[in-house]
Structure 1
Amino acid sequence: MTKMTEIDLQQLQQAMLSYLQKHWKIFFAEGVFFVILGTLAVIVPHVFTIGITIFLGWLLLLAGIVQLIRAVRFITMPGFSLWFLTGLLQTVVGYFLVMEPAQGSLTLTLLLTVFFAIEGLVKTYLALMMRPLAHWGSMLFSGITALVLAIVVWAGWPSTGLWVLGLLLGINMIFLGWTLVRISLHHKTSGE
């Protein structure tokens, strides 16, 4: 893997600038959507927490059933036992999340903590890539916020597990939406 040169970085930043200017309306609309959805999640975090858990449960349950059916249909296929076990695991986890959403939300809250930590690192890295561009600090702030949210979840565990998933997801969506709106409005082209 080669080290990114100053010229490569400048070309990447110029390409990003061009893309933001050309598609600012899409980024703006996405930002507004995330702010509205995030605000709803902050207002009723319990509902979003249970809703997220049940939705994910159904996805896993249905995906697991489909994978089990396919595995059984191709029982002579090499790796049958691995395909079958994967489908069985998805089915069991999905069933658990659907039938016990409160307990499932505790598990998902821990997973969300990991997600926020990784997302915070990625956003921070993206902010540093955007550094000379306007409002790069907003992306950095969003990254740091995601990292702080991960710490808050971990510090309050397990009592926060039933409501924090919806609340933190909402806060994260608000910051992401706010960032996208600011970046898009700054890069709005005068010809549109």
Structure 2
Amino acid sequence: MTEEMTLDAAAEAMREAMRKTVRRGSLLYLIQGILLVIAGVLALVYPLITNVALAIFLGWMLLLSGIVQAVTLIGGGKTPDFWLQLISAALSVIVGFLFLRNPAVAVGTLVMLMSVFFMIEGISKTVFSLTIRPFPNWGWVLASGILGILIAVWLLANPAMSLLLLGILIGVQLVAEGIAIATMAWMARKETR
């Protein structure tokens, strides 16, 4: 006999488990939230330094990931598509090394990749919105797609401002995430008193 649970009951059980977890570590979550807000404010004040730090971080991640992938492949014996995976690992190491060697160029590369991402995302959302056109609210998807295309064009047309924008977006994200985590932790601490 299997025990069945309704979707609402499962959702409530998950929420309660999350509440307990947050209550237990509320002080650490509060500290984490405050640190994220501080990091976000620093990123907003120093967006170019943030960009360089991001490029260095990504450089190390790519370099280490490529090395681990190569070692795993070589030590793992017969692997499907061995050479293709080894090429992927080598490219990861090379790109990581290049990012570390010249972080300023890496930041420009990141802005270019963001532009390509926004353009592809914008075009695909625009096409998708036109295919779902009879559905309610299809216009919001269309607006989102057009906005993505406009952002991509703006990023490409204003490379100097784009460099600032990347750091600012990171700062805004860190502040928003920090506030969310700190608020959740603060409310959990108030509940336990």
Residue 106 of structure 1 deviates from its aligned partner by 3.4
Which structure: larger Rg? 2
* C-alpha distance 83-21 of structure 1, shift in aligned 2 (>3 A): same
Output the amino acid matched with 1:178: I
Question: Which whole-Å CA distance do the structure 2 matches of 1:181 and 1:84 have between them?
Answer: 43
- Is 2:154 the counterpart of 1:156? yes
2:48 match: secondary structure: helix
TM-score (norm 2): 0.64
Residue 61 of structure 1 deviates from its aligned partner by 2.5
RMSD of equivalent CA atoms? 3.4
List alignment gaps of at least 5 residues for structure 2.
122-143
Dislocated runs of 4+, deviation >6 Å: none
Which residue matches 1:59?
Answer: 61
Residue 37 of structure 1 deviates from its aligned partner by 0.8
Question: Which whole-Å CA distance do the structure 2 matches of 1:9 and 1:74 have between them?
Answer: 43
TM-score (norm 1): 0.65
Task: Report the identity percentage.
Answer: 24
Question: Which whole-Å CA distance do the structure 2 matches of 1:89 and 1:44 have between them?
Answer: 31
* C-alpha distance 94-153 of structure 1, shift in aligned 2 (>3 A): farther
Which residue matches 1:41?
Answer: 43
1:78 match: secondary structure: coil
Question: Which whole-Å CA distance do the structure 2 matches of 1:163 and 1:25 have between them?
Answer: 34
Output the amino acid matched with 2:17: A
Question: Which whole-Å CA distance do the structure 2 matches of 1:40 and 1:91 have between them?
Answer: 30
Which residue matches 1:90?
Answer: 92
* C-alpha distance 191-12 of structure 1, shift in aligned 2 (>3 A): closer
Alignment check: 8 A CA contact 2:66 2:89 kept: yes
